[in-house]
Structure 1
Amino acid sequence: MYEDLATALPMKSHYSVVMGDFKAKVGIQTGIESSIGPHGYGKKNHRGQMLVNFLESQGLFLMNSFYKKRPQRKWTWRSLDGKSRNEIDFHMTDCKCIFEDVSVVNRFNTASNHRLVRGSLNIDLKLERGRMMRSTLRPTLFQTNAGGETFQLQLKKQFDALAPTLNIDEDFENVVNILKEKGNMFCRMRHRGTKFELSEKTLEVMKARREDANATPSELRARTKKIRRLIRKALRRANTKAIYQAIGQNRRSKVFKVKSVSNYLGRSHMTKLRTHDGKIVTSMSEML
């Protein structure tokens, strides 16, 4: 099942929502699992840990665990004798902001030992349409004048060498890939924000934290603290590096921008003055 989902999820889509019976008890959140919210139910089992590992690897969120409900509104499956109740039916997505609520519907006869799980979504179509139409490649005037002819020539060469296939989807994908490749070559995107890479040691600790399902709570807490400490160090190193680069390149960023005397006087310079007899003077010597 997880192999099929891992194959389907990379397919291009605006949002990904996965729903169904996973026969896994995820339980409550432990440690730094970003895919699990603070409002879980029950105790995690081995299949639950497998599901959590899958969510972490695919960047998905278990939406059932992000909304606080009474225990009787959390369980989704009941055994035939009525003694066991577990939460094994889930809603998952790669974008938490589109969900407003996930809850069990009590008064609904499904003729099954599973209860209906309802997810409420709110998608601003106007806003999302604007985001989809927004271009990520915006060439400057210099790039347009300098590389326009070369860009067209490169595209022509690529399209002439492109062999058609019997699959229209594959042909379309090939055209899109060529446009993206050449577009990124001539109009490089400007990335914002500070990027930093985690060290091998940090990645190893995070991997051990995810894969060790038999770790005790004290061991999990110790690893969690260690991961947070290593991430803080990596972020601090990245910020320090960015500061030194900004100083070396003489960038007037918000952090290092110093108000020069000329700018300060230019903004506060007095242009005219009314004297005691009502006369307006504009000469600097008269105003002084």
Structure 2
Amino acid sequence: MLLPPLRGHSSEYIDKAIRDNYKGKYTIVMGDLNAKVGQRKAGEGKTMGSFGVGARSRRGDMLIEFAEEQKLVITNTYFKKDKTRYWTWESPNEATRNQIDFIVSSQRGIVKNCEVIAKVCITSDHRLVRAKICINTILARLEFINNKKKESINIMKLKERKDEFQLKLKNRFACLDVEDIDLDTRCDKLTTVMLEEAASLASTKKSENTKLEEDKTIEALNLRRKDLRKKEIKTRAEKIEYAEMVKTVRKKRRQRTRKRKYDIILQTLKSGRVPNAARKQDSNKSRICQLRHEDGTLTSDRSQILEICAKFYQDLYSSTKPETDTPKCKANSKKKDELPSVLQKEVTHAIAQMKDNKAPGIFL
């Protein structure tokens, strides 16, 4: 979030500017907020740390209230520093020092450090405040992709309920006000309305009523696992719980898949549709759809494909060539080359390469 300088404006204007522009997954609000938050009080553990300084002012109460409402944290108060590394503003007569410059973040876990830079000469009565921010980009990208996934719609089911779909769209479009907006926003609104109505009539997503008990159990465990994974800083107990949760979710998913396969096979055996069941179970395996005969013609017939494969491997492993005697090497047909004698300089070089105070070995 980036805002223009707000110096000279009223507190109502500043509050409205921050609230109107507050959005996004990672939000950082920083600058001269002209507020003294002081020490942490009871019930403010989610908003500020235990390293606040000074007494709280009226604007400090406003900042704490805003942070609690928007679920923000004041990062300056979470890291223990020397007493001289807290204050950010000094009066002209050098008699008063306060902490009024803050870095406020939407997520505590991404801020690894926050400190005041003292040894920087700037023409200001404020000191620089620096924060170290680390973001797990892989995890953030996965969450972004999962949030952007569109809900799949059953087209055939939607065609069957075409009249109802058109009636719903007509009613929604009649209540939609798109007169005083630009073309792109109007297009986005119309698209959203059509997708919402299509999903309400022909969504492929399972409803809560059709979910089995095992599905609900796995979903609850998976939600807990995701909550633990999102935490940037985990305790030892949480790390152990996360590892056990991963194993439990995987085990229950395997059991559910095995049970569903068993139910499908049992159902198909009762109905006499064994080939269809086998085809469903092997849907993830690649199959040979076509093969070419020796004359170059293609065939997709299953029996002919099996015959071609059988003939290929039969010709591959059955050799028709007569065995030939391989000539044996005569022993001692050539004289072995005599090794040259060891030179004195080679011995000297080997001794020089040896380490001091080490055993020479069994060969020396």
Q: Quickly name the TM-score band, shorter chain normalised.
A: 0.5 to 0.7
Residue 118 and residue 172 in structure 1: after superposition, are their counterparts in 2 closer, same or farther (change >3 A)? farther
Asked whether 1:170 is paired with 2:185, we answer yes
CA distance in 1, matches of 2:69, 2:147: 29
Partner SS, residue 129 of structure 2: strand
Stretch of structure 1 that moved more, 25-34 or 160-169: 160-169
Residue 89 and residue 175 in structure 1: after superposition, are their counterparts in 2 closer, same or farther (change >3 A)? farther
Residue 83 and residue 157 in structure 1: after superposition, are their counterparts in 2 closer, same or farther (change >3 A)? same
The amino acid across from 2:144 in the alignment is: M
* Counterpart for residue 27 of structure 1: 38
CA distance in 2, matches of 1:158, 1:95: 41
Partner SS, residue 19 of structure 1: strand
- The alignment's TM-score, normalised by the length of structure 2, stands at 0.45
Asked whether 1:41 is paired with 2:56, we answer no
The amino acid across from 1:18 in the alignment is: V
Deviation at 1:153, TM superposition (A): 3.4
Asked whether 1:112 is paired with 2:113, we answer no
Asked if 2 retains the 8 angstrom alpha-carbon contact of 1:105 and 1:118, the reply is yes
Deviation at 1:76, TM superposition (A): 0.6
CA distance in 1, matches of 2:151, 2:29: 37
CA RMSD of aligned residues (A): 3.6
Bigger relative CO (Cα 8 Å, ≥ 6 apart):
1
How is 1:117-196 mapped onto 2 (pairs within 5 angstroms)? 117-135=129-147, 144=154, 148-149=158-159, 150=161, 153=165, 157=170, 163=178, 165-168=180-183, 170-171=185-186, 174-175=189-190, 177-178=192-193, 181-182=196-197, 185=200, 186=203, 187=205
Asked if 1 retains the 8 angstrom alpha-carbon contact of 2:28 and 2:103, the reply is yes
The amino acid across from 2:182 in the alignment is: N
* Counterpart for residue 231 of structure 1: none
Residue 6 and residue 83 in structure 1: after superposition, are their counterparts in 2 closer, same or farther (change >3 A)? same
Asked if 1 retains the 8 angstrom alpha-carbon contact of 2:165 and 2:198, the reply is no
The amino acid across from 2:100 in the alignment is: I
* Structure 1 unpaired stretches of 5+: 194-288
Q: What whole-Å deviation, never above 9, does each CA across 1:76-111 have from its counterpart, x for those lacking one?
A: 111111111111011112112221111111122221
The amino acid across from 1:14 in the alignment is: K
Asked if 1 retains the 8 angstrom alpha-carbon contact of 2:72 and 2:104, the reply is yes
Partner SS, residue 3 of structure 1: helix
- The alignment's TM-score, normalised by the length of structure 1, stands at 0.55
CA distance in 2, matches of 1:129, 1:148: 32
Residue 176 and residue 88 in structure 1: after superposition, are their counterparts in 2 closer, same or farther (change >3 A)? farther
In the comparison of the two structures, how many residue pairs are matched?
191
Partner SS, residue 174 of structure 1: helix
Q: Between the two proteins, what is the percent identity of the paired residues?
A: 27
Partner SS, residue 117 of structure 1: strand
* Structure 2 unpaired stretches of 5+: 1-13, 209-215, 221-364
Deviation at 1:44, TM superposition (A): 1.0
Q: What whole-Å deviation, never above 9, does each CA across 1:216-275 have from its counterpart, x for those lacking one?
A: xxxxxxxxxxxxxxxxxxxxxxxxxxxxxxxxxxxxxxxxxxxxxxxxxxxxxxxxxxxx
CA distance in 2, matches of 1:169, 1:117: 41
Q: Which of the numbers 91, 95, 100 marks the counterpart of 2:107?
A: 95
- Give the structure with higher Rg (CA): 2
Residue 109 and residue 157 in structure 1: after superposition, are their counterparts in 2 closer, same or farther (change >3 A)? farther
